[in-house]
Amino acid sequence: MRRRTFDTRRAPLFEKEHSVPKRILNRAVEMTDRLAFPSRSHHWSLRAALAVGLTTVVFAVALPVFVTYLMMVDFYFFFPAVLLSSILGGVVGALASVGTVLFWTSFLVDLQVIFLDLIGFLAVSAILVLLVEALQRRQIREQLATEQRMAERMRDATQIAVLSEEVAHRCKNLLAVVLAIAENSWDAGATGNFKENFKERMRGLARSHDLVEKSGWAGVSLREVIDGQIGYLIRAGRKRVVLDGPDISLQVAAAQSISMAMYELATNAIKYGALSNSVGIVRLSWSITESHLRMSWEESGGPLVRQPNRTGFGQKVVKKYLEHSLDAIVKLEYKLTGVQWSLYAPVQTIICKQEHGKRAVDIAGRR
């Protein structure tokens, strides 16, 4: 027969044990606990006050007098033993010591003669045992609660440290991106004017950053990334931009890279491609397998496409940058009928699998 196993974390003290003696013991300990150590956080009700007052009177006055009167000191000698064994051995220990006392006494005296003394002894012993047990359980409970609080605090602190490191890192990188954009927008060969190019790209960057922040630096929705960069085209363009693919939770870096690429592809389509006339169509589709994300941007119906004679910043963003930051394979083709772009990237650089807290702890653990 298979042995039953307990989930010790869930019920460390009062396990779900159905044996009657155990249930009676647990109830008795709980009641003793409630009577002897009333919770300080609660307001005293009249009944509780009466109960405590009564208990105090019984414990402090009536019981000692009663015991002394009945027992004529005899059994007093055994109380230290009962107390000690119940502290060290719990209920079982106390039962053993009480049993031993009864066993030896039965040799010396006729138990029937000292019947009342015996009852007194058993009653006081029971109260002692229950008090010790209640105290010990209370202590264990408090210890567990303290440990849990400490663990939580540690986890919070680690999380904050890791998160702030990551934020610092990403902020500095973002500045680097801004510098690169500025330099490239300034590039003499770039078309349009610097101010407009730069401002638009900054707005695109800010939109993707908003999403990252909204997500709490964890998974960013691919659909929201796309919507952030080209949503206005979808809403304005009467089905000229067609989206097809499931929503995916992206890592922060992937969200930023893909976001920038979407911005550049859309800008190019509006300036020279399928969206520069009134009939062209863009089809943006993606699918995910166990191992890879495949994404494609296909333009059709635009003016005839010419291969550009220089590599601009936009081209770098949609190919080289993506390949580098996502370990991806990117194809960018200037077909006569329209620009065709495709991305093939391993899920390791794309998908955000965990919520942030867990990941933060993982990173901290690796250090």
Q: Which parts of this chain interact with another protein (CB under 8 A)? A: 165-166, 168-169, 171-173, 175-177, 179-181, 183, 253, 257, 316, 320-322, 324-325, 327, 349, 359, 363, 366-367
Report CA-CA distances (Å) from 338 to 217, 265, 300, 344: 36, 12, 5, 20
User: Closest approach of Cβ 353 to another protein, in Å?
Assistant: 13
Q: Between 114 and 360, name the residue whose CB sits nearer to another protein.
A: 360
Q: Between 111 and 175, name the residue whose CB sits nearer to another protein.
A: 175
Contact assessment for residue 85 and residue 94, using Cβ atoms and an 8 Å cutoff: yes
User: Closest approach of Cβ 332 to another protein, in Å?
Assistant: 15
Q: Between 296 and 325, name the residue whose CB sits nearer to another protein.
A: 325
Q: Between 180 and 234, name the residue whose CB sits nearer to another protein.
A: 180
Q: Between 129 and 317, name the residue whose CB sits nearer to another protein.
A: 317
Cα four-point dihedral sign 304, 309, 313, 315: positive
User: Closest approach of Cβ 172 to another protein, in Å?
Assistant: 4
Q: Between 10 and 367, name the residue whose CB sits nearer to another protein.
A: 367
Residue 138's φ and ψ, nearest 5 degrees, are -60, -45
User: Closest approach of Cβ 327 to another protein, in Å?
Assistant: 7
User: Closest approach of Cβ 14 to another protein, in Å?
Assistant: 43
Q: Between 285 and 325, name the residue whose CB sits nearer to another protein.
A: 325
Query: What residue ranges in 152-263 does DSSP mark as E strands?
Result: 220-221, 241-244, 249-250
Report CA-CA distances (Å) from 223 to 250, 287, 346, 349: 10, 12, 19, 17
Cβ-based burial of 231 (10 A; exposed 0-12, middle 13-18, buried ≥19): middle
Q: How many residues does the chain have?
A: 367
Residue in 214, 290, 306 with CA at minimum distance from that of residue 255: 214
Residue in 225, 291, 228 with CA at minimum distance from that of residue 253: 225
**SS3 state at 2:** coil
User: Closest approach of Cβ 176 to another protein, in Å?
Assistant: 4
Q: Between 54 and 171, name the residue whose CB sits nearer to another protein.
A: 171
CB atoms within 10 A of CB 287: 13
User: Closest approach of Cβ 170 to another protein, in Å?
Assistant: 8
User: Closest approach of Cβ 224 to another protein, in Å?
Assistant: 21
Dihedral Cα 210, 173, 315, 181, nearest 10 deg: 80
- The b/e string for 240-254 (b: 16+ C-beta within 10 A; e otherwise) is bbeeebeebbbbbbb
- Report CA 279 to chain centroid distance, whole Å: 49
Q: Between 137 and 201, name the residue whose CB sits nearer to another protein.
A: 201
User: Closest approach of Cβ 294 to another protein, in Å?
Assistant: 20
Distance CA 265, CA 253 (A): 18
